[in-house]
Amino acid sequence: MSHAHATAPTEFVEAKGIRFAFRRFGTKTGVPLVFMQHFRGGLDHWDPAITDGLAGNRPVILFDNAGVAGSSGETPETIDAMGDYAVAFVHALGLTQVDLLGFSIGGYVAQAFTLQEPELVRRLMLLGTGPRGGEPSKDANFPKYATSTDPTTGESGLDAFLYLFFSPSPKSQAAGKAFWERRHQRKIDVDKPSSVQTMKAQLVATQAWRQIKGERFAELRYITQPTLVVNGNKDVMVPTINSYTLAQHLPNAQLIIYPDAGHGSQYQYPNLFLAHARLFLDS
Amino acid sequence: MSHAHATAPTEFVEAKGIRFAFRRFGTKTGVPLVFMQHFRGGLDHWDPAITDGLAGNRPVILFDNAGVAGSSGETPETIDAMGDYAVAFVHALGLTQVDLLGFSIGGYVAQAFTLQEPELVRRLMLLGTGPRGGEPSKDANFPKYATSTDPTTGESGLDAFLYLFFSPSPKSQAAGKAFWERRHQRKIDVDKPSSVQTMKAQLVATQAWRQIKGERFAELRYITQPTLVVNGNKDVMVPTINSYTLAQHLPNAQLIIYPDAGHGSQYQYPNLFLAHARLFLDS
pLDDT tens-place string over residues A195-250: 999 999 999 999 999 999 899 999 999 999 999 999 999 999 999 999 999 999 99
Closest to A228 in 3D by CA, of A258, A252, A206, A205: A252
Whether residue A1 is predicted with pLDDT greater than 60 in this model: the reply is: no
Residue B187 has pLDDT above 70, yes or no: yes
Q: In whole angstroms, give the CA distance from residue A243 to residue A235.
A: 10
> Residue A81: which pLDDT band, with cuts at 50, 70 and 90?
very high
How many Å lie between the alpha carbon of A13 and the closest alpha carbon of chain B? 37
CA angle B39, B41, B43 (to 5 degrees): 150
Comparing CB atoms, the residue among B253, B259, B272 nearest residue A252 is: B259
- % of chain A at pLDDT higher than 90: 94
pLDDT tens for each residue of A4-51? 999 999 999 999 999 999 999 999 999 999 999 999 999 999 999 999
Identify the CA nearest to B171 among candidates B274, B55, B268, B273: B268
pLDDT of residue B269: 98
Q: How confident is the model at residue B1 (pLDDT cuts 50, 70, 90)?
A: low
User: A152 Cβ partners below 8 Å, 6+ apart?
Assistant: none
Report the candidate in A164, A65, A137, A163 with the shortest Cα–Cα distance to residue A106. A65
Average pLDDT over residues A91-117: 98
A110-121: string of b/e by CB count within 10 Å (b at 16+)? Answer: bbbbbbebeebb
Q: Give the residue-averaged pLDDT of B16-44.
A: 97
User: What's the pLDDT tens digit per position in B97-139?
Assistant: 999 999 999 999 999 999 999 999 999 999 999 999 999 999 9
d(CA B57, CA B39) in angstroms, rounded, equals 28
State the nearest Cα–Cα gap between A72 and chain B, in angstroms.
Answer: 40
Residue A156 pLDDT: 84
The answer to whether B175 touches B166, Cβ cutoff 8 Å, is: yes
The residues of A whose Cβ lies within 8 A of any Cβ of B are: 233, 240-241, 244, 247-248, 250-260, 272, 275-276, 279, 283
Residue (of A116, A100, A120, A91) closest to A13 by Cα position: A91
Residues on chain A touching B228 (C-beta within 8 angstroms): none
A253 beta partners: A227
Alpha-carbon gap, residue A125 to A58, rounded angstroms? 15
C-alpha to C-alpha distance for A3 and A51, rounded to whole angstroms: 12
Q: What is the mean pLDDT of chain B?
A: 97
* Number of helices followed by number of strands (H, E) in chain B: 10, 8
A27: number of Cβ within 10 Å? 13
**Contact residues, chain A, for B257 at CB < 8 Å:** 244, 247, 254-255
CB burial of A159-172 (b: ≥16 within 10 Å; e: otherwise) equals ebbbbbbbbeeeeb
Write b or e for each residue in A122-151: b if 16 or more Cβ atoms lie within 10 A of its Cβ, otherwise e: ebbbbbbbbbbbbeebebeebeebbebbee
Picking from B253, B261, B270, B47, the residue whose alpha carbon sits closest to that of residue B130 is B253
pLDDT band at B156 (very low <50, low <70, confident <90, very high): confident
- Mean pLDDT score, A178-186: 96
